[in-house]
């Protein structure tokens, strides 16, 4: 049976975007290095990305992340979920208001207006025994962790100090103990997997 996995790239100082992130600059200023590993020709990076992409049954994302991937610099036929794999799993977007218009194929996206807990429950029903992957952003992942619906946390620690941006865990995060189950260093990241007991 699949797991509910929160999966996100993070800088050494704990940011998942740089300053100024938005639909036209998804990662913000000077933060492209967060995702270098996903596009690199490193054998470890390729294996980590392929394994995660192939195990994914449904993706859950927040509205800000959706606005980036639906924006002019977002997903395309060659770059999408799984970076160059451009996989096409169903996507559930947690939002208060679905968009009136969108660039991407509407039939791949379902907009969930009653919160992350509901989105994860719906995703588990759709995943067919495969993983449900929460890919961001930081606020969605924090909310899912606080709601107790995440079983595994995967961090791709980039060798980058951003100094500002969107923190994964701002002050006031709920204290918790995680169990480290996997560490894989590559030339571009350290891929960390934690079990949430």
3-state secondary structure 65-131: HHHHHCCCCCCCCCCEECECCCECCCEEEECCCCCCCCCCCHHHEEEECCCHHHHHHHHHHHCCCCE
Give pTM, 2 decimals.
Answer: 0.95
Domain range for 66 = 4-14+22-165+184-190
138 lies in some domain: yes
175 lies in some domain: no
- Whether 44 has a pLDDT exceeding 90, the answer reads yes
CA-to-CA separations, 133 to 105, 119, 121, 124, 154, in angstroms, rounded: 20, 11, 12, 10, 10
Q: What CATH number is given to the structural domain containing 49?
A: 3.40.430.10
How many domains does the chain divide into?
A: 1
Average pLDDT score over residue span 91-97: 97
pLDDT score recorded for residue 37: 97
197 lies in some domain: no
pLDDT score recorded for residue 23: 84
The pLDDT tens digits of the residues spanning 137-150 come to 999 999 999 999 99
């Amino acid at each position: 049976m699949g797991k509910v996995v929160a999966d996100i790239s993070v800088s050494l100082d704990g940011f998942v975007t740089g300053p100024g992130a938005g639909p036209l600059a998804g990662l913000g200023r000077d933060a492209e290095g967060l995702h270098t590993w996903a596009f690199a020709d490193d054998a470890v990076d390729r294996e980590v990305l392929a394994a995660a992409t192939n195990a994914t049954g449904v993706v859950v994302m927040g509205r800000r992340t959706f606005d980036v991937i639906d924006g002019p610099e977002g997903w395309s036929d060659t770059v999408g979920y799984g970076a160059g794999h451009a996989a096409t799993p169903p996507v559930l977007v947690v939002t208060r208001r679905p968009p009136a218009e969108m660039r991407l194929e509407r039939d791949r996206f379902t907009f969930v207006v009653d919160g992350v807990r509901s989105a994860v429950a719906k995703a588990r029903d759709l995943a067919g025994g495969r993983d449900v992957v929460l890919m961001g952003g930081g606020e969605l992942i924090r909310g899912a962790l606080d709601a107790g619906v995440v079983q595994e946390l995967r961090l791709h620690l980039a060798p980058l100090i951003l100094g500002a941006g969107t923190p994964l865990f701002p002050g006031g995060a709920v204290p918790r103990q995680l169990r480290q189950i996997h560490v894989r260093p590559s030339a571009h990241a350290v891929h960390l997997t934690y079990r949430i007991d």
